[in-house]
Structure 1
């Protein structure tokens, strides 16, 4: 591997100054965040451990459902999963949009440099910021760009892809799995494939490469979120995921995640494995400072690679809290609500096994119970329902397990890891 691991260190003075300016800007835009900093005596601080950790509770109370009328130039994106019956609203400033497109353009441009200008690039994604921005990124790279409306039936996706025959294809692992299973079959030979939104481990990427007759290094796994934007990407040279330069990552022990509040003094840790916190130095209309992503990662470290210092990690282990992805998002709140309605007082867990699988402690799962779970998912996560109706993702599955059959070992503790 062409990298050298570095000893851990504090942020550089330049990065500390950027962090202080970032926190001060968020304090000006979001009065509730200013109050948090003032209570901690951290206004103006460029030390990560001085700043509050922002999780779902604080953001649900102050950001996700606020109208933000004082930010009239914002673009608004909604998550498909809800919490408390209301979809989360995520704001992007024009500068946020431009920064995101620049980050994607730089990454995709380097990845597709062997593909000539004018070649066909297609985005087949769900909803949200990545889907809304993909065509702009491709056009700015000089490609002939198309995208596919996720509400269209899966056979229409296949028909359009077979007609366009993209050289560059940007999609989600769950959608691509569905497309490869469709009949009549997908008949395309993209030279470069980028995927985002679900865990895409090396074995999966190797299988996709073989299916399309390319090398594993021609499959790029992109890590992002609607809150942060571009986060990280797989590097074929090092075998690691590299964070984008605007990201300052930290980890905290997984067992501590559920107890974290904005009042805790949380030391900054930038090596090891655990629950991921992210700070984005490029975001303006989302307070992305020590944001709790709900992801678990392994092997966070700093490395030297190709003459640059970068943060990197080994793999994404899965989701620990918050939203679950089944094509689009279903919130933990909604999953708990659904299971309380259909399987009251029954311990359960949710996992990623090529889609959402809910394991519940029960003797059997009846047809009426399965229908009730699926109906509730349709009601509470309409974008997921549309993707299921279109055939882009399969139906939610519910299986019965004995009391000792839960992998997480605790009632209603969700650990969303890839099966197998």
Structure 2
């Protein structure tokens, strides 16, 4: 049973976080008038309780943030990614303080992970678009490495040639890109001492395979969890076998049923243990309303643990995407994918998964070459970043497969978007 001193410390800690949370929400209300109106309608302006605050989901952001003008935000840097509907790209804003906080978080993580690699060694980032790609070089330079990056628009053979010439000691890439690099010819011939990956699910079996391929230990491969909206979120921990959240993050989970029932006027309970749809609050984001942000990810086993003498939030694994968009190197929205399938396969049930690149399974006797070409052309039009990565050879073409009605893994539905398998 906790003693009086420990209970007092716990109460003080929770009171401090409540005050921080109230200040965080008030800051976003000042920067984003639509968020202030939302808090006022809820009677939540000034509240420091998570459950009082509204969920920030893609519908809300699509209506008020991703394409809105914010002349009142000084020194804003804009990063764009595909993923919104109708061919419009998401625009996510960063302040100078946002960038500096992100760099500090990544520098601390990567610095500890690469502590055995001498400064002055070669570090290479081979990523797609967005904030992680734009920031990687600065992180490596500040760590004292000879830093290089590779333009994702270049063909995969050029990526291999540059990597073989630079021979990085530290390599930062995406799982999907690394899979393509390992299949390329001429062959990739590098011997990195540390590998970090971000952007796709990289389960333990995949990391172990990559480690074996490069003659490394499994704990020499780090899976980094982040998003362009939040920035740095978490990372795999070899010691605990879990994913740990960065200290600036407060995570929650909701069941899919709780998530689907929420409205902007409904109080949604805060649950910081268990499995389900992941919500994140960040205390180091100014120019994105990162308060109860619905990431679209499903996670298993969220809990608090004691690690190295302090309490951290951790979870077991990312199970996949619940809604919003898919990753095929870069993002394509569910809305656009459903529209494409309605045009090419009208009235046909389908499902899609992105555990190994985007694979669409449609109920049909056959899928002919013209239909596959039509789907791929529509993806190219609606998701230009995806199209560029396919053209560069960094990810493979979108695949379309015919299945019988009972061949849908997610059951009978007009449109079902299934999760990655853990």
Q: TM-score, normalised by structure 2?
A: 0.96
Q: Please state how far the C-alpha of 1:256 moved relative to its aligned partner.
A: 3.2
What SS does the aligned partner of 2:285 have? Answer: coil
Q: 1:157 to 1:61 in 2, by over 3 A?
A: same
Instruction: State the Cα deviation string for residues 237-267 of structure 1 (Å, max 9, x = none).
Output: 0000000000000000023333333222100
Does 81-90 or 160-169 show the bigger shift?
81-90
Quote the Cα distance in structure 2 between the aligned partners of 1:322 and 1:352: 13
Query: Root-mean-square deviation (CA), in Å?
Result: 1.5
Match of 1:113 in 2: 115
Contact 1:223 1:230 in 2 (8 A): yes
Q: 1:242 pairs with 241, 244, 257, which one?
A: 244
Instruction: Determine whether 1:301 maps to 2:273.
Output: no
5 Å-filtered alignment, 1:135-284, equals: 135-284=137-286
Aligned partner of 2:338 in structure 1 is 336
Displacement, 1:81? 2.6
Deviation at 1:362, TM superposition (A): 1.1
| Aligned mates of 2:143, 2:208 — CA distance in 1 | 26
CA contact (8 A) 1:224 1:232 kept: yes
Q: Residues 50 and 222 from structure 1, CA distance in 2 versus in 1: closer, same or farther, beyond 3 angstroms?
A: same
What's the CA shift for 1:226?
Answer: 0.4
* SS of residue paired to 1:139: helix
Q: CA deviation at 1:161?
A: 0.1
Are the counterparts in 1 of residues 319 and 421 from structure 2 also a CA contact under 8 Å? no
- How many pairs align? 413
CA distance in structure 2 between the partners assigned to 1:110 and 1:202 by the alignment: 20
Q: Give the superposition deviation at 1:87.
A: 1.1
1:412 shift after superposition? 4.3
Are the counterparts in 1 of residues 341 and 375 from structure 2 also a CA contact under 8 Å?
Answer: yes
Give the 3 Å change call, closer, same or farther, for CA 190–347 of structure 1 in structure 2: same
Deviation at 1:340, TM superposition (A): 0.8
Cα offset, 1:72, TM superposition: 3.5
TM-superposed CA distance for 1:11, in Å, is 7.1
Distance 2:414 2:269 in 1: 29
Q: TM-score, normalised by structure 1?
A: 0.96
Aligned counterparts of 2:277 and 2:247: Cα–Cα separation in 1: 20
- The answer to whether the 8 A contact 1:55-1:261 is kept is no
- Cα distance in 1 for residues equivalent to 2:210 and 2:287: 36
Counterpart CA distance in 1 for 2:414 and 2:380 is 21
> Which structure carries more helix by proportion?
2
- Correspondence 1:361 to 2:363: yes
Residue equivalent to 1:382: 384
Encode CA deviations 1:277-300: one digit per residue, 9 max, x unaligned. Answer: 000011000000000000000000
Question: Is 1:31 aligned to residue 19 of structure 2?
Answer: no
Contact 1:123/1:171 (<8 A) preserved:
yes
> How many Å separate the matches in 2 of 1:413 and 1:329?
18
Distance 1:48 1:256 in 2: 15
Change (3 A) 1:75 1:97: same
Q: Cα gap change, 1:277/1:410 in structure 2, threshold over 3 Å: closer, same or farther?
A: farther
Residues in 2 aligned to 1:356 and 1:197: alpha-carbon distance in whole angstroms: 14
Give deviations 1:358-410, integer Å, cap 9, x for gaps.
01111111111000000001111111111101100000000011112111124
Work out whether residues 320 and 421 of structure 2, in 8 Å CA contact, stay in contact via their aligned partners in 1.
Answer: no
Q: Which residue of 1 aligns with 2:7?
A: none
Question: 2:416 and 2:169 mapped to 1: Cα distance?
Answer: 39
